[in-house]
Chains A and B, each alone.
Chain A
Amino acid sequence: MLYTHFQVILHTMSVKLVNQFDEADKIAKYWFMFSMLWFPVFTTFGFILAIKFFYPTFLVDAEWTTFGRLRPAHVNGALFGIVSSGLLGAMFYIVPRLSARPLYKPTLARVTPFLWNIAVLSGIIMIILGNTQAREYAELPWIIDVGVMITLGIMAYVILGTIMMRREHKLYVSLWFFAGTMLWFPIVYFIGNVMWNPPTGALEGVIDAIFGWYYGHNVLGLWFTTLGIGVWYYFIPRISNRSLYSNTLSLISFFAIAFFYTGVGGHHLLQAPIPEWLKTVAVITTALMMVSVLTFAVNIGMTLRNSWHQIITNMPLRFIVFGFICYIFVSIQGSFQGLRSTNLYLHFSQWPVGHAHLALLGAFAFTAVGVTFWLVPRITGKKLYSDRLMSVTWWLGFTGFIFFMSGMTVAGIVANSAWAQHMTVASALPMLQPHFIVRAIGGGVIVVAAYIFAYTIIRTFLSKPPVNTITAPNQEMVVKSQ
Chain B
Amino acid sequence: MTDDKGQDSDFEKIREDVVHIEEDLRKELHHHNLFPLIAGGLAVFFLMTSMVVAMPFMFYTATPSSIAHEYTPLEAEGRSLYTSLGCFYCHSQFNRPTDWATGNTSQAGDYVYDQPHTLGTERTGPDLAQIGGQRPTIWHELHYRDPRSVSPSSVMPNFGFLSDEQIEALIAYIQYEGGKNLETENFQPQVPSNYQNASNPFMSLMMEVAMDYNASSQEYTGDPLLGDNWADIFNDGKQLFTEKCLACHGCSGNGQGPYARHVLTRPANLNERIMNYPGDYFHFWRLSEGVPGTAMPRWMLSLNETTRWKIATYEMSFVLGAIRTISGDVSDTEGDVFANSTKITPPINGTQQEFEEGQSIFLLYCAQCHGATGQGDGPTSITSPGGYISPEPANFTESGGDFPVYGRYVWKVQEGVETTNMPPWKFALSDEEIFNVIFFIQSFSTPEDYNAKWAPQYADPFAQNLMR
Contacts and interface: CB of A to CB of B under 8 A. Distances in A.
A binds B: yes
Interface stretch (B29-37, B253-261, B303-311, B354-362): B29-37
A180 B41 contact: yes
Contacts of B124: 53, 425, 429
B112 interface: yes
A171 B161 contact: no
Interface string A199-232: 0111111111111101000000010000000000
Given A54-B155, A255-B40, A275-B60, 7 more contacts: A61-B160, A135-B116, A184-B41, A212-B116, A254-B41, A273-B62, A429-B124
**Which of A62, A63, A72, A209 has the largest count of B CB atoms less than 10 A from its CB?**
A209
Interface string B105-137: 011101111111111011111110000000000
Contact of B108 (A205, A344, A424): A205
**The 10 residue pairs across chains A and B that have the minimum distance between CB atoms:** A68-B86, A202-B116, A134-B83, A262-B48, A271-B96, A348-B123, A259-B44, A171-B33, A208-B117, A273-B108
Contacts of B125: 425-426
Nearest to B80: A134
B309 to A, nearest CB: 38
Interface in A398-453: 415, 419, 422, 424-427, 429-430
18 contacts: A54-B155, A57-B157, A60-B157, A60-B158, A67-B86, A68-B89, A134-B118, A170-B33, A200-B116, A205-B115, A205-B117, A210-B56, A214-B49, A262-B44, A268-B121, A271-B96, A281-B52, A425-B125
B49 A272 contact: no
Given A262-B52, A349-B123, A176 B161 contact: no
B157 A67 contact: yes
A151 to B, nearest CB: 21
Interface in A159-201: 163-164, 166-167, 169-171, 176, 179-180, 183-184, 187, 191, 200-201
Contacts of B48: 259-260, 262-263, 285
Contact of B45 (A66, A201, A258): A258
A176 B42 CA distance: 12
Interface residues of A, number: 87
Interface of B: 25-26, 29-30, 33-34, 37-38, 40-42, 44-45, 47-49, 51-53, 56-57, 60, 62, 83-90, 92, 94, 96-98, 100-101, 106-108, 110-119, 121-127, 147-148, 151, 153-161
A130 B85 CA distance: 7
Given A163-B34, A204-B112, A208-B114, A430 B85 contact: no
Nearest to B38: A179
A263 B51 contact: yes
A479 to B, nearest CB: 20
A31 to B, nearest CB: 24
A263 B52 contact: yes
Given A132-B86, A271-B94, A278-B56, A426 B34 contact: no
Contacts of B122: 348-350, 352-353
Interface string A351-393: 0110000000000000000000000000000000000000000
B274 to A, nearest CB: 30
Interface in A132-146: 132-136
Nearest to A218: B49
A255 B123 contact: no
A352 B42 CA distance: 30
A111 interface: no
A262 B45 contact: yes
Contacts of B155: 52-54, 56, 429
Contacts of A61: 160-161
